[in-house]
Amino acid sequence: MVFEIKDVDGNVVASIPDNLKVGRSLFLRGTKITKLPDNLKVGRSLFLRGTKITKLPDNLKVGGSLFLRGTKITKLPDNLKVGGSLYLTGTKITKLPDNLKVGWSLDLEGTKITKLPDNLKVGGSLDLTGTKITKLPDNLKVGWSLDLEGTKITKLPDNLKVGRSLYLRGTKITKDNIPKHLQNKCTW
């Protein structure tokens, strides 16, 4: 459901009230809004493409997906929780926060992120295609698939857990340095 926030005269406003809770999705694409309130809760997805928003609020909770492509956001808040997918392709974000939890997919394809936090949790897929990441955290757990295509990662940690598929096309990882419990999940 797409809606605009308007004042009593019908003018589109440039701000959102504090402590806003949206049960469904919030589409702010192309609006004049420059700031999101602290403690914003969105039940489904939050779309920010084409906004002038430069910072995400503290304690942001998104039950569905968070779409940041085409935004001027350069940093994610600590303790960010996204129940669905987090799309960072096409952003200037260079670092992921500690305690980041993503319920389904985390798409970092082509970003300038160089390191994953030690306590990252991804319930579905993690796409690192074309990133400058050179090493995976020791206890990384990915529920569904991990795509390392075109990365400079040369070795997989012994404790890496991947639920279904591990894509290694375009990497320097060899069959000799893949932990035994992952060998049947690899695609070259």
The C-alpha atoms of residue 131 and residue 30 are separated, in whole angstroms, by: 28
- What per-residue confidence (pLDDT) applies to 59? 85
Token pair in block for residue 136: 């995976």
- The CA distances from residue 116 to 9, 40, 62, 128, 133, in Å, are 47, 25, 21, 10, 8
Token pair in block for residue 14: 């440039």
Q: Are 156 and 175 in contact (CB under 8 A)?
A: no
Q: Are 123 and 140 in contact (CB under 8 A)?
A: no
- What per-residue confidence (pLDDT) applies to 62? 96
- The CA distances from residue 170 to 39, 106, 129, 173, 176, in Å, are 41, 20, 10, 9, 16
Q: Are 128 and 147 in contact (CB under 8 A)?
A: yes
Contacts of the segment 67-76: beta carbons below 8 A, 24+ positions apart: 68/93, 73/48, 76/100
Per-residue pLDDT of the chain (188 residues; tens, 9 = 90+): 344 566 556 666 666 777 788 999 999 887 888 889 888 999 999 999 888 899 999 889 999 999 998 899 999 998 788 999 999 998 999 999 988 889 999 999 999 999 999 888 899 999 999 999 999 999 899 999 999 999 999 999 999 999 999 999 999 999 888 999 998 998 87
12 secondary structure, DSSP code: B
Question: What's the distance, CA 164 to chain centroid?
Answer: 20
- What per-residue confidence (pLDDT) applies to 6? 60
Beta bridge partners of 102: 82, 122
Q: Are 81 and 56 in contact (CB under 8 A)?
A: no
- What per-residue confidence (pLDDT) applies to 19? 76
pTM of the model: 0.87
- What per-residue confidence (pLDDT) applies to 47? 94
